[in-house]
Chain A
Amino acid sequence: MELDLFVRYGPALIRGFGVTILCWAAGSLGGLVLGFVIACLYRWSIAPVRWVIYAYVEVIRGTPFMIQLFILYYGGPYVGLVLSPVQAGILSFIVYGSPYFSEIFRSGFNAVPKGQVEAARCVGMAEATILRRIVLPQMLVPITPPLTNFFIILTKETAILSVVTVPELLYETQTMAAETFTYVEPFLVLSLFYWLMVIGTNWLGGRVEARVTRHLKRA
C-alpha cells in the first residue's frame, strides 16, 4: 500500500466525487420529475399518447445506458445538439431514469383504491387536490422502497459516465491508476467510496420511508 499516493491525488478524487454526486443528484431528480410527468400523462390522456409513452418506456428500458449515452454525446452534434460531457451525462441520466420512475409511479397510482378517487370526485374535489391530498400520500407508502432502490442503482450507473470523459470519480481514479501504475489501491478505495454512497442512500431512503409511513403508525 502506498498511501502517500492518496495525498497527492486526494484533491482530484474529491473533485471527481463532487462531479459524481452532481450528476447523480441532478440526473436522478430530473428523472424523478420527468417520470412523474410521464406517469401522469399516461394516466390522464388519450390512447395515442399512451402508445407513444409505452413505446418510449419499452425502448429506453430495452437498450443499454451506454448506447443511449453514445447516441446523445456522439450522435447529438450531427443533429445540432452539442453538449459538454457533464451536460450529456446529466441529460442522458434524466432520459434513462424517467421510464423506470414512471413505471414505479404507475404502480403507485394503481395501488390506491379506485373507490377513494371516485368518492373524492363525488364530494367535488378538484383533480389536483385529489392527487395531492388523497392519492400521493397513500401511494408514497408502497413506492418509497422501489424508489430508494432505483436511486441506489443510479448511484452506480454514474460510473458509466467516465466513458465519455465526464471527470467523475471513476475517471479520476483511472487517471490516477494509469499515471502511477497502481491498480489495487485505487480500485479498492474507489469501491469503498461507492459502497458508502449506497449505504448513505439506503439510510436516507429509510428516513423518507419512516416519514411517509408516519400516518400508519399513529393508529
Chain B
Amino acid sequence: MNFSFDVIWHNLPYLLAAARWTLLISVAGMAISIVWGVFLCAARISKNRLLANVAALYISFFRGVPLLVQLLMAYYMLPYVGLDLPAIAAAILAVGLCSAAYTAEILRGALQAIPAGQTEAAHALGIPGFSLWKRILVPQAIRIGLPSLVNELILLVKVSSLASVVGIGELTRISQNITGQTYRPLEIYIAAAAIYFLINLVISGLGRLAEKRLQAG
C-alpha cells in the first residue's frame, strides 16, 4: 500500500481540534489530582489511624484497578446510584480521582525528603497546622516531586485516550471516526500518535524549564 500524506493533511484540522479535548481532560484531571492528592497525602500520614487507613485503602484501590474500569464505573455505574454526570465530567473525575492516588504517594515521598526540623521549628514558632502545610510543606514537596509530577501529567495525556471509550470526542475517538470514513487506519493513527508525542515533548520540555526555575529561586 502507499502511505498517503494527503489523508493526514486533509484531516489534520479535525485531529488538532480533538487534541484540545485531550489537553482539557489531562490538565483538568491533573488539577483535581494535585488538590485531592494533597488532602489524601495529609490523611495518609495523619496520626488519626482511621483516617490514615481509609486513605491507604483509597490509594490501594485506585492504583489497583485499571483506569479503563474506573472510567466505565464512573460512566455506567454512577447513574445507578443517582449521580448522572455528563460524559466529559465523568471522564475528568475518573482520571483525576485515580491520578490523585499516585500524586498522594509522590507527595508523601517528597515530604519525607523535607527535614523534620522544619516542622518542629514551625511548631515551636506556633504556626498553625494549616499554614504549616500551605506555606512550608506543600510548596517544597511540589518542588521536590516536580519531576514525578510532570511524569504523571505525561501519563495523563496518554491515559486520556481511554476517554474515547465513553464517547468523548478526543483525539483517539476522532481518529477512530476519521478512520471509519477514510479506511486509512495506518495514516490516521500514526498522525494521532505523532500529536500525542509532540504534546508530551512540549510538556517534558516545560517541566525541565520549571525545574530549573524552581531550583534557581
Chain A residues proximal to chain B, CB less than 8 Å = 58-59, 62-68, 70-71, 74-75, 78-79, 156-160, 162-163, 170, 174, 177, 183-184, 187, 190-191, 194-195, 198-199
B86 contacts chain A at the CB level, 8 A cutoff: no
Contact of A71 among B77, B159, B161, B193 (CB under 8 A): B193
Does A191 contact B190, Cβ atoms closer than 8 Å? no
Q: What are the 7 closest A-B residue pairs judged by CB atoms, nearest first? A: A75-B186, A159-B66, A74-B185, A64-B161, A156-B66, A64-B158, A198-B64
Q: For chain B residues 159-217, which have a beta carbon within 8 Å of chain A?
A: 159-162, 164-165, 172, 175-176, 179, 185-186, 189-190, 192-193, 196-197, 200-201
Residues of A within 8 A of B190 (CB): 71, 75
Does A63 contact B197, Cβ atoms closer than 8 Å? yes
What CA separation (Å) do A68 and B61 show in the bound complex? 27
Does B66 contact A66, Cβ atoms closer than 8 Å? no
What CA separation (Å) do A160 and B185 show in the bound complex? 18
What CA separation (Å) do A158 and B65 show in the bound complex? 11
Chain B residues proximal to chain A, CB less than 8 Å = 1, 60-61, 63-70, 72-73, 76-77, 80-81, 154, 157-162, 164-165, 172, 175-176, 179, 185-186, 189-190, 192-193, 196-197, 200-201
Residues of B within 8 A of A198 (CB): 63-64
Q: Can you list 27 contacts pairing A with B, beta carbon distance less than 8 Å?
A: A59-B197, A62-B158, A62-B196, A64-B158, A64-B159, A64-B160, A65-B158, A65-B161, A66-B164, A67-B192, A67-B196, A70-B189, A71-B189, A74-B189, A78-B1, A78-B185, A79-B1, A79-B186, A163-B165, A170-B66, A170-B68, A170-B69, A174-B72, A184-B81, A187-B69, A191-B70, A195-B60
Measured CB to CB, the nearest residue on chain A to B154 is A62
CB B119 to nearest CB in A, in angstroms, measures 28
Measured CB to CB, the nearest residue on chain A to B200 is A62
What CA separation (Å) do A116 and B162 show in the bound complex? 46
Measured CB to CB, the nearest residue on chain B to A177 is B76
CB A42 to nearest CB in B, in angstroms, measures 20
Measured CB to CB, the nearest residue on chain B to A199 is B64
For chains A and B in complex, what number of residue pairs have CB atoms within 8 angstroms?
A: 107
Contact of A63 among B64, B73, B162, B196 (CB under 8 A): B196
Residue in A63, A160, A177 whose Cβ sees the most chain B Cβ within 10 Å = A63
Residues A63 and B193 in contact in the complex (CB < 8 Å), given A184-B80, A187-B77: yes
Measured CB to CB, the nearest residue on chain B to A71 is B189
Does B185 contact A75, Cβ atoms closer than 8 Å? yes
Does A187 contact B72, Cβ atoms closer than 8 Å? yes
Residues of A within 8 A of B1 (CB): 78-79
CB B75 to nearest CB in A, in angstroms, measures 9
Does B80 contact A183, Cβ atoms closer than 8 Å? yes
Does B73 contact A191, Cβ atoms closer than 8 Å? yes
Residues of B within 8 A of A194 (CB): 64-66, 69
Residues of A within 8 A of B73 (CB): 187, 191
Residues of B within 8 A of A68 (CB): 193
Measured CB to CB, the nearest residue on chain A to B73 is A187
